[in-house]
Structure 1
Amino acid sequence: MRTVGVEEELLLVDPETGEPQALSAAVLARATRELAEQDVFEKELHNQMLEFATHPQSGMDELAEEIVRIRGEAARHAGEIGCTVAALATSPLPVRPSIGMNRRYQWMAEQYGIATREQLVCGCHVHVSVESDEEGVAVVDRVRPWLSVLSALSANSPFWQGKETGYNSYRSRVWQRWPSAGPTELFGSAERYHQRVAAMVATGTILDEAMVYFDARLSARYPTVEVRVADVCLRAETAVLVATLVRGLVETAAREWKAGEDPVDHSVSLLRLADWRAARSGLTGDLLHPATMRRTPAETVVRALLDHVEEALADSGDLERARAACAELLRHGNGARVQREVWERTGSLRSVVTTCVRQTQS
């Protein structure tokens, strides 16, 4: 059984006003006093963000319990200094982000200017174990067409700087401002993958391998493939669904590679269009079907993803849970829909944030 780990970025907000608060250093100081959590919480690019990482898990029940527990711990630590956490991929309310003072973040601010200052966005990254770099690159090559569906499922950022964007995942549009972000061409081998990464670092445009922000990449720290396309999910069960589907995609891709099946050779241009469509429509309109790259109702595309990973999910015991979670999302909506429904009902972005604070820990 492949292990799965999840990294989530949370927004620190005032519990009354909903405005982002630059208090990550204080929250981290409290968290690290408890020895068991020293390796759980991390500082992020902006002082209004808090990141955490789960341990590698084989079972999705255990992963779900850990995500819920750590979200609760984050809220407790934040509450001790007068703020709280929200699983929001962008701030609905206007904010002036402040950048952390370490050397890496200051280099990024100098190098990328306003693109760095505006990167107050929160994502969900999923790590799945692989046996080798060769298997990992084979997986990266084969999961490419399906990643936009994960973006649609997780979409949780319809507002930006106090305005309705018209997108379900505006975070993904902001993220694309990094020069190394987005989908990749086929690599074909671990050697070519590492050559490409080395060539990118050698340009001096990015600082190191960790700044290669491919949609799916080999982790620079762990023996995993890391999928980085999802918004942070409003509800913990959606994050578990994304992790379940990512593991299914990784296992399916590895089996295809071992069986000698070639990856689908969609161009990066088409993959970018699929990403854009997923960000724009989420689950409320058409997506580009991963096989045909033609506009198709979102429900049909989600069903195609489940069909694609059905055997892997059945073998891990996750199939029925994934089907039920997808049906629930299609019926009741993802984070973007929740935010818009609160906004339409109340006309208050503050109410949007406070509602999402409650659902973050539910």
Structure 2
Amino acid sequence: MTSTALHPAEIARSVSRLHLTVGVEEEFLLLDPRTWQNAPRADAAREQLPAAMRERSQVEFRRSMMEMVSPVCTDLPQLHDALRENRAAAGAAAESVGARLVAVGATPIGEPDLEVVDTPRYHAIARHYGPIAHDPALCGFHVHVGVPDRELAIQVCTAIRPWLPVVQALTANSPWHAGTDSGHASWRGIALERWPSLGPSPYLRSSAEYERVVAELVATGVMLDATMVLWWARPSSRYPTVEVRVADVCPTAAETVVMAGLVRALVATAIADIAAGREALQPPEHLLRAAHWNAAHSGMSGTLIDLRTHEARPAWDLVEDLIELVHDALDRHGDRVRVVLGLGRLREHGTGAERQRRNGTVADAMLSVSRATVTN
């Protein structure tokens, strides 16, 4: 990602006419189908992937995790096809080593092998952060939306902060912890609050301010190094994109695509606002963090915090507001029908967490999710 001498509003006016690209990284658990405990077989499963699919896989922090990455896509049908290919290939590879690929946001029962994957970086993280680096595995999915300028990307990350708790609630898919209902819709969201370099990004206006804040956090030891910028939205360190990292991995590829389309529309709307000179909303930090905690706790089954008014409102009312906010961007990218219908299905059938709870037991829930992971 490059920075130019142009003012971000000038860049935004140019970028706002573009069809933004989208890509997705999805993290999955490998579970033992007899016990539904985590199975540390990721290396063996990756070896079973066809060569082309192996290029789409990445080594993750835990031996029980597989990550699959989509190509850069221009439309949602293309993304859906890529994600289904990824999941089918990873699911077959997992089966070949005696495991199930499961799209669930947190370890449901337990992880016998708590060692990190053997890389210098992962060992350095484990030494620096201690026991929290040995928590059972957590799985999210990351949406990358093409934003070619770094200054603009930083302003976009600031602009979308008030709506990321809604995305978090919609994707809540990890109610289980240690074999029982945690009482939270996204145990992943709750557990990740222990990491000091995760959570909502600060309110940043420029790359200079971004670099200063990161340097201060590294100097204080909060971040091991600059690569530990793991905020819910950040300018990617590898790609010319804004990366949104707040979501639990979705049970199905279809749901992932709906969420990716919604995030792309949110980013495009932020760019349009920047082009028009509209100032980003700056909610109080305590309320922003409370909104994320509440989203992880309740999912879509109760209220969410409206960061425009500082009031609790029915969760689906805020989703309707979000759709209205981004409707121009949805139309411009040709995504309105797919996203609106997908959110309608989610409202009818429930989030991943709600559907898991309806299965009754952890084992029944994992069996159901493992089937959905590779078939939808």
TM-score clears 0.5: yes
Q: CA deviation at 1:119?
A: 4.7
In the other structure, the counterpart of 1:311 is 328
Report what 1:17 is aligned to: 35
For the residue of structure 1 that corresponds to 2:121, the secondary structure is helix
Give, in whole Å, the separation in 1 of the partners of 2:284 and 2:202: 7
Q: Does 1:132 align with 2:176?
A: no
C-alpha deviations, 1:80-136, integer Å up to 9, x for none?
A: 111120001112223333321211111222221221111510001111010201110
Provide the residue aligned with 1:116 in structure 2: 133
Task: Report matched runs for 1:270-309 at 5 Å.
Answer: 270-309=287-326
Query: How many Å separate the matches in 2 of 1:210 and 1:292?
Result: 34
**Distance change in 2, residues 1:19/1:87 (3 Å):** same
Q: Is the 8 A contact 1:95 1:161 kept in 2?
A: no
SS state at 2:143 partner: strand
The two structures, once aligned, show a CA RMSD in angstroms of 1.3
Establish whether residue 175 from structure 1 lines up as the match of residue 192 from structure 2. Answer: yes
Is residue 29 of structure 1 aligned with residue 29 of structure 2?
no
Match of 2:371 among 343, 358, 361: 358
Q: Secondary structure at 1:9's aligned position in 2?
A: strand
Is 1:323–2:340 an aligned residue pair?
A: yes
- State how far apart, in whole Å, the 2-side matches of 1:248 and 1:360 are: 25
Deviations 1:185-229 (A, max 9, x none): 311112211222233233344333221111100101001010010
Structure 1 runs of 4+ with >4 Å offset: none
* Maintained 8 Å contact 2:39/2:111: no
For 2:218 and 2:136, locate their aligned partners in 1 and report how far apart those are by CA, in whole Å: 21
- DSSP 3-state at the match of 1:18: coil
Read off the aligned partner of 1:5 and give its amino acid letter: G
**Partner Cα distance (2:187, 2:309) in 1:** 25
Query: Of the candidates 51, 55, 62, which is equivalent to residue 39 of structure 1?
Result: 55
Between the aligned residues of both structures, percent identity stands at 37
Report the secondary structure of 1:196's partner residue: helix
Q: Which residue number corresponds to residue 102 of structure 2?
A: 86
CA distance in 1, matches of 2:237, 2:32: 34
Structure 2 partner of 1:70: 86
Is the contact made by 2:57 and 2:68 (CA closer than 8 Å) also made in structure 1? yes
- Mark the runs of 5 or more structure 1 residues left unpaired by the alignment: none
Indicate yes or no: 2:203 matched with 1:190. Answer: no
Structure 1 equivalent of residue 171 of structure 2: 154
TM-score by length of 2: 0.92
SS of the equivalent of 2:359 reads: helix
Q: Secondary structure at the match of 2:108?
A: coil
**Which position in structure 2 is the counterpart of 1:95?**
111
Q: Residues 52-71 of structure 1 correspond to what in structure 2 (within 5 A)?
A: 52-71=68-87
**Structure-2 residue corresponding to 1:266:** 283
**1:176 match: secondary structure:** helix
Deviates more, 1:180-189 or 1:227-236: 180-189
Structure 2 distance, partners of 1:139, 1:130, is 9
Q: Which amino acid aligns with 2:241?
A: T
User: Is residue 22 of structure 2 the alignment partner of residue 4 of structure 1?
Assistant: yes
8 A contact 2:110–2:136 mirrored in 1: no
What is the count of residue pairs matched by the alignment?
356
Name 2:162's counterpart in structure 1: 145
SS of the equivalent of 1:124 reads strand
CA contact (8 A) 1:48 1:98 kept: no
Amino acid in structure 2 at the alignment position of 1:356: V
Amino acid in structure 1 at the alignment position of 2:75: G
Q: Is contact 2:111–2:136 with CA below 8 Å preserved after alignment? A: no
Quote the Cα distance in structure 1 between the aligned partners of 2:297 and 2:33.
Answer: 29
Contact 1:22 1:98 in 2 (8 A): no
